[in-house]
Structure 1
Amino acid sequence: MRTVVTTAAPQVEIVVPVFNEQAALETCVRRLHRFLTSEFPFSWRIVVADNASTDTTPAIATALAAELPGVRVLRLERKGRGRALRAAWSASDARVVAYMDADLSTDLRALLPLVAPLLSGHSDVAIGTRLAHGARVVRGPKRELISRAYNVLLHTVLRARFSDAQCGFKAVRAQALPSLLAGVSDDGWFFDTELLVLAQRRGLRIHEVPVDWVDDPDSRVDVVATALADLGGVARLLVASPLVRFAGVGVASTLAYALLFLLLSGALATGAGAANAVALALTAVANTAANRRWTFGVRGRRERVRHYLLGGVVYVLTLALTTGALASLHAIDASPARGVQVAVLVLAGLAATATRYVALKSWVFARMVRERRAAGVS
């Protein structure tokens, strides 16, 4: 059975990014071509994305494209696996785009279960995983340790729910691709991780396929340099996460609240209860505005009045908590020092922070967050 389509848009396009792969490229492409021709039920295309190779890789790729139906070559003059995938995927007219490494470490029989949920519309992104139950992996202890440690880091720091970020075997549904690529800034090895984290944050469905995988002993990846770049990428995504942005706004609001309380209760001789209410009201307005723009990415006038009204309800709840904390303090000490009052109020405010985040995310800004996710905007 032959399913090669060269003139019409294929259902699946498989990109093979390469850099100086003259030793392995021909074997890889011919093996992949034979598999797709004889065993793959969907129309397909192979694109060799030559990533600024300096050996005979470009000539080999060109010769293969001239000989084998359904094979094309894309030449880039700058290095970076993410850059190669971005260029190839952006130019694709296929319903599903995928990629695999030139060493073909992953068993090709996993390709069909990888792309089928995307073609059916069941999922938006699909990844091969070497770390899920059912995967069979052959590799050295050093790479195994690094891979598992990296994914533990992603789960801990970025709250990733996917099991394997860097397996070179992934696919994306074309409809989800443009907004994802627009949101990914890395053009190197961290491209995969950033793409998956962004997809998760936008609520896209990520399908995982346990794979049979054999390590390539001839891999020329600089493990130390790649690890350092990945750590920098993790830090960047952490700072960009809604929770961290919310925490930053919360810290600034708390400092402003404490200063206003000291000013109102000290220099202006306002009572502790009134000072708390006024300071909290002023910072609550600023807090809602900052979270509206920076944490949840809501801009413009749409639903602004509604957001501030609902933010006012959250303010009332926080006011009740801090007022209760003040009353408890005064029951213990009728004339507490202002520093003690500030400390108690700050602690009460911190206790309300988690509730405030949940309320803002699931209630105040919930509708617009859902709309942004549906539109593919983080």
Structure 2
Amino acid sequence: MTTQHQPQTATQSSFTPTSATGTDKSKRERSNPPAFYDAPRSSDQSKTPYAPQTFDVHDSSNDSDPSGASNLSNVPGLSGAIDPVGLIAEQVGNPVQVDADIVIPVYNEHEELADSVLTLMQYLGSPRSVPASAQWQSPYPPQYSWNIVIADNASTDDTWSIAVDLARQYPQFVRAVRIPAKGRGRALKLAWGQSHAKVRAYMDVDLSTDIRLTDVLVGSILNGHAEVASGCRLLDESQVTRSPKREFISRSYNVLLRATLGVTFEDAQCGFKAISAKAADFLLPQIKDNEWFFDTELLTLAQTYGLPTYIFPVRWVEDAGTTVNIPDTVRKDLKGIRRMRHELAASAI
């Protein structure tokens, strides 16, 4: 049974950045709340994206809690948390007990790292109210304690030095870790694995997802509503601006996942996810991929084990300067799908 969270409002309520490079117009526009925030909620919980998608693939006939509520304490393997000692080359600041660690994995992002971190800090430190559409979450925590964790995975530009500067200038709010090997999955495994936070979240450095949805991402787990949460760009309520090519690839990948792995979630690759501390201890040691397929593996395992997973619509704007190598990512995703299909069939979870 998840303990009901009481929002913390203390010393992290406000601050004044002193070295911001200025927030460009595109980022200011991304901070506007999406139109669906205050839309009336459907009475049919099964058809609204605000209903938790609790995946239960295993036979739950003998479960003591047939409702699908979180019961991770009975799942074997919780003690197998990742030990990142020796795998993180450098760090500035140590993990602390907060409500949420928000990890920003970066590779050669010196141009927008400082601006993005300061933009996120300003939002998290600002007083804000509960969106009407989120009233089902009780208590919804618009204020909670947090750390931003910059996870630099093998950058070759000035990204690490900028991360160090931010962590030293704002030690209450930012810490930084340097991982001498590439891979978003690797960065998240290590940053989440060493975290002491109740919720371990991550978002892409370009802040493509509306940062006001951070409260939904973190809050859905803090209040015990879910163990895993993820934004979804493919829901009808989502507002997405991206090229036709990226849209086609995303939807095709979703169809492929459903056909090969039997998943029921959508948009595995949205860079806006969070897991609870217990889910991290349980899932991270089982995730083998260290790169882009990490997200798919995370959600697939969560579904396979029946962990309550909350999928919600987002407002998302494509970063025109993205450095994602699409052909290489597609090739590795197909390899990951083949591996997981074989593993799931062999284990018969």
Structure of greater relative contact order (alpha carbons < 8 Å, 6+ residues apart)? 2
Aligned positions of 1:319-334 closer than 5 A: none
Q: Which residue of 169, 177, 186 corresponds with 1:67?
A: 169
Shift of 1:162: 1.0
**Counterpart in the other structure of 2:119:** 31
Offset from partner CA, 1:1-49 (integer Å, 9 cap, x none): 7653999511011000000000010111000110111145010000000
Could you list the per-position Cα deviations for residues 150-202 of structure 1 after superposition, in whole angstroms to 9, with x for gaps in the alignment?
01111111111111100000000111111200110000000000011011000
Identity between Structure 1 and Structure 2 (%):
47
2:99 counterpart residue number: 11
Instruction: Pick one of 141, 152, 160 that aligns with 1:58.
Output: 160
CA distance in 2 between counterparts of 1:172 and 1:188 reads: 18
Aligned partners of 1:77 and 1:4: how far apart in 2? 31
Alignment-mate amino acid for residue 81 of structure 1: R
Give the Cα–Cα distance (whole angstroms) in 1 for the partners of residues 232 and 12 of structure 2. Answer: 28
Structure 1 moving runs of 4+ over 4 Å:
5-8
Aligned to 1:332: none
Matching residue of 1:94: 197
Write the distance in 2 (CA, Å) between the matches of 1:7 and 1:179: 19
- 2:12 maps to a residue whose letter is V
SS at 1:240 equivalent: helix
Equivalent pair of 1:165/1:193 in contact (CA under 8 Å): yes
**In the TM superposition, what are the counterparts of 1:270-349 in structure 2 within 5 Å?**
294-295=347-348
- Name whichever of 65-74 and 194-203 sits farther off: 65-74
104, 121, 126: which is aligned to 2:224? Answer: 121
Task: Give SS of 2:124's match.
Answer: helix
Could you say what secondary structure the match of 1:63 adopts?
helix
TM-score, normalising length from structure 1? 0.63
CA distance in 2, matches of 1:209, 1:115: 12
| Rg comparison, structure with higher value | 1
Letter matched to residue 36 of structure 1: L
Give per-residue Cα distances to partners, 1:27-81, cap 9 Å, x unaligned.
1100011011114501000000011111000111111111123100011001010
Aligned partner letter, 1:201? T
For these two proteins, the number of residue pairs brought into alignment is: 246
Instruction: Verify the 8 A CA contact 1:80 1:189 in the aligned structure 2.
Output: yes
Q: 1:30 is aligned with what amino acid?
A: L
Give, as a single letter, the amino acid of the residue that structure 2 aligns with 1:67: Q
- The gaps in structure 2 that reach 5 residues or longer are 1-8, 14-93, 128-141
The equivalent of 2:252 in structure 1 is 149
- Give the whole-Å Cα distance in 2 for the aligned partners of 1:54 and 1:4: 32
TM-score by length of 2: 0.68
Quote the residue 2:147 is aligned against. 45
Answer yes or no: is the 8 Å Cα contact 1:2–1:38 preserved in 2.
no
1:50 match: secondary structure:
strand
Q: Which residue of 1 aligns with 2:279?
A: 176
Name structure 1 gaps, 5 residues minimum.
246-293, 296-377
User: Distance between the aligned counterparts of 2:193 and 2:291, measured in 1?
Assistant: 16
Quote the Cα distance in structure 2 between the aligned partners of 1:154 and 1:145. Answer: 14
Could you say which structure has the higher helix fraction? 1
CA RMSD in angstroms comes to 1.6
Aligned to 1:222: 325
Mapped to 2, the partners of 1:146 and 1:211 lie a distance apart of 18
